[in-house]
Chain A
Amino acid sequence: MKALKSEKLNVEEELCKGCGICVTFCPKNVLKIEDGKVAIVDIDSCIQCGLCELRCPDYAIYLGGK
């Protein structure tokens, strides 16, 4: 079952160091590294599990917020 898409997935590019942690641990292949930064390539597959936010060491990707 797909979760309700209530929270937007945000990226702060200037904080991203391109480590690839979020890409590896995203269960739905939503993310990719492009030109050394994270890129959202398939937002429709995102289930808003928050695993990217949980393990991003640089606080560059997160759900919700302002």
Chain B
Amino acid sequence: MGNNLIEKYYRTERLPHIWCPGCGNGIVLRAIVKAIDNLGLNKDDICVVSGIGCSSRATGYLDFNTVHTTHGRALAFATGIKLANPNLHVIVITGDGDCAAIGGNHLIHAARRNIDITTVVFNNNIYGMTGGQYSPTTPTGDKGTTAPYGNIDPNFDLCELAKSAGATYVSRSTVYGANMITKQVEEGIKNKGFSFIEALTICPTYYGRKNKKGDAPEMINQLKEMTINVDAYYKLPQEKREGRIVIGELYRVQREEYIEKYNRLINSF
């Protein structure tokens, strides 16, 4: 393998990865690694933590400190790792099911604490690993193996959720514009606090097939059509905003970080 970026940061002996042809996970993962490279961080100063799911298999391919944990609990493990070794840059890789269904509680509390962790959710709108059950981000009306007539649940806006729960950096991007993912991960790592990046990606195998979305290139084009940059969005008249998914930096605020608060308490004795 002569690809410098991949050679430097991946466990290349594990490639090709297990992801299906056209799965977007590999695109998001490269974008994350590119962000780390752009920031010039030392590999040993990084710890990447994932839960369970196709997306969470990512940690197995990365040559950093990595931990592949249990379903929904990546943020709980990451919180412990960050408290034990605050000098590490802790990055969580999670899926929409991992992060918002079984792990939804950990997400809101990590955000509430504003602990310095960068979370990247690979949102493919489905449980990929277990064969296509609907997730909290499956759009209303779309199908999954557990919603053969269409999902009646309203789907979560994960960025709104993270923002409301207390995240201090929130952004969204897609695998169509993978450079935007990179930029956002850089900003997320630089933000001292809880950063939440929603990377919209594709599962052609289950979500795509179940919902007749076409092949991987078509699904990536659909992401382009469905999304609009935040600046352009707010210039649109109200009636034209309906149904568009907003991408870009959505929220940023300054608030004391959890470990700083914790240390302040300890040092007061």
Of A12, A20, A59, which one neighbours B30 at CB under 8 angstroms? A59
Of B1, B5, B15, B217, which one neighbours A21 at CB under 8 angstroms? B217
Which A19-35 residues have a C-beta within 8 angstroms of B?
19-21, 23-25
Query: Given contacts A17-B16, A59-B30, is CB(A65)–CB(B22) below 8 Å?
Result: no
Of A14, A19, A57, A65, which one neighbours B25 at CB under 8 angstroms? A57
The yes or no answer to A66 lying at the interface (CB within 8 A) is yes
Q: How many residues of chain B get a CB closer than 8 Å to chain A's CBs?
A: 30
Distance of B181 from chain A, by nearest CB (Å): 10
Q: Are A58 and B16 in contact (CB under 8 A)?
A: yes
The yes or no answer to A41 lying at the interface (CB within 8 A) is no
Of B2, B22, B179, which one neighbours A20 at CB under 8 angstroms? B22
Query: Given contacts A15-B16, A64-B4, is CB(A20)–CB(B217) below 8 Å?
Result: yes
Most chain B CB within 10 A, of A20, A53, A58, A66, is at A58
Q: How many residues of chain A get a CB closer than 8 Å to chain B's CBs?
A: 23
Distance of A59 from chain B, by nearest CB (Å): 5
B178-218 vs A: 1/0 string, CB under 8 Å? 11000000000000000000000000000000000001110
Please measure, in the bound complex, the distance between the C-alpha atom of A45 and the C-alpha atom of B217, giving whole angstroms: 21
Chain A, Cβ-Cβ closest to B215: A20
Q: Are B4 and A21 in contact (CB under 8 A)?
A: no
Distance of B6 from chain A, by nearest CB (Å): 5
Query: Given contacts A21-B216, A57-B24, is CB(A12)–CB(B1) below 8 Å?
Result: yes
Chain B residues in the interface with A (C-beta under 8 A): 1-7, 10, 15-17, 19-27, 30, 175-176, 178-179, 215-217, 220-221
